[in-house]
Amino acid sequence: MVSVSGHSEDILREREEMYRIHFSLANDVMFSYDPQFRVESISPNVERILGYKPEELVGRAFPELGILDPSDLDEAIGDALHVLAGGVIHASVYRFITRDGKRRIGEVSGVPHQRGDHVIGVISVARDITDRMLMGEKMERYRDHLEDLVRERTAEITIANEVLKREVEERRRVESLLRKNEERYRLHFCLSDDVMFSWDNKLRITSVSPNVERILGYRPEDLVGRQIHEINVLDPADMSEAMDNAIHLLSGKKVYSSIYRFITKDGRVRFGELSEVPILRNGKVVEVVSVARDITDRIAEGKDGKGETRR
């Protein structure tokens, strides 16, 4: 018989696996640090952007890492202190130094991570905008709509002996850790411009990040539980390609760059570039994790997501 704590830990591991996949696919680097500016966590894609592995950065204070241009360091520290005092930064631009000495430009957003009335750290998202700056595009500032969806569970358990007491305490410990992790991931997703969603082997949407409403006009609850081909958000002309890719994914393979036309709730067309990977359990695909980036502005300039002129 599986214990309550064991089952809760399995759920925690499965959710963390999905979040790790989201973070590795996303184009934004998600990270957090404490009041001493020590990096507490950072998403794996930092290695692709800056050349550093997460374990080389976690536990070290960012002013000492040498990844910020010295001329931007005072501004970055000032912004960090502002957030640690309870403020928010929506779009601060810094120059970063990669492991091989190159300069990359990053746009950083940050919100305070609070426990009760106390700020215990900062949760941030950094976007690589080097290409956009070099092309002279107008910088956009993002206002983040933060949603705090907390599901509280109340367990009515009759404690018959000391063993059961220890099991209940362990369950509460695991659930508390799960809630804290979900709070951090929700903040990351609300800050990001990538729409993260997942669907099962019946082509049903199982989850979608809240920022889908800002991009397409639909709330997550309008989409979750419905099959992809019946929600009418995909242009019919792209449905055949999407189904071919779905078959490819359900066979256990990955799709890193597909471009589709999406129909917003008010009838407008937006272009999205998708990266998708399957999740396998016992050798079978049970779910597909997807990240969709809005590239409408890039398409409008005459280039598709692969750098080719779209006809």
pLDDT digits (tens, 9 = 90+) for 137-146: 443 333 433 3
Distance (Å, whole) CA 16 – CA 174: 13
One domain for residues 41 and 106: yes
pLDDT of 230 reads 86
Q: Is residue 153 part of a domain?
A: no
One domain for residues 46 and 141: yes
pLDDT of 28 reads 86
- CATH code, domain with 265: 3.30.450.20
Q: Is residue 65 part of a domain?
A: yes
Structural domains counted in the chain = 2
pLDDT tens for each residue of 84-130: 999 999 889 999 999 999 999 999 999 999 888 899 999 999 888 88
Structural domain harbouring 48 = 26-145
One domain for residues 32 and 134: yes
One domain for residues 35 and 126: yes
One domain for residues 128 and 202: no
Domain boundary among 84, 117, 145: 145
pLDDT tens for each residue of 226-247: 998 888 899 999 999 999 999 9
Q: Is residue 272 part of a domain?
A: yes
Distance (Å, whole) CA 246 – CA 202: 10
One domain for residues 216 and 135: no
pLDDT of 153 reads 53
Q: Which residue has the tokens 């202190």?
A: 81
Q: Is residue 178 part of a domain?
A: no
Q: Which residues contact 296 (CB under 8 A, 6 or more apart)?
A: 270, 271
Domain boundary among 77, 111, 145: 145
Domain boundary among 110, 128, 145: 145
One domain for residues 126 and 204: no
Q: Which residues of the chain have pLDDT under 70?
A: 1-8, 10-26, 136-165, 167-168, 170, 173-192, 302-311
Query: 72 by DSSP, 3-state: which?
Result: helix
One domain for residues 134 and 38: yes
Distance (Å, whole) CA 171 – CA 174: 5
pTM: 0.45
Q: Is residue 7 part of a domain?
A: no
| Closest among 211, 241, 217, 215 to 229, alpha carbons compared | 241
Q: Is residue 308 part of a domain?
A: no
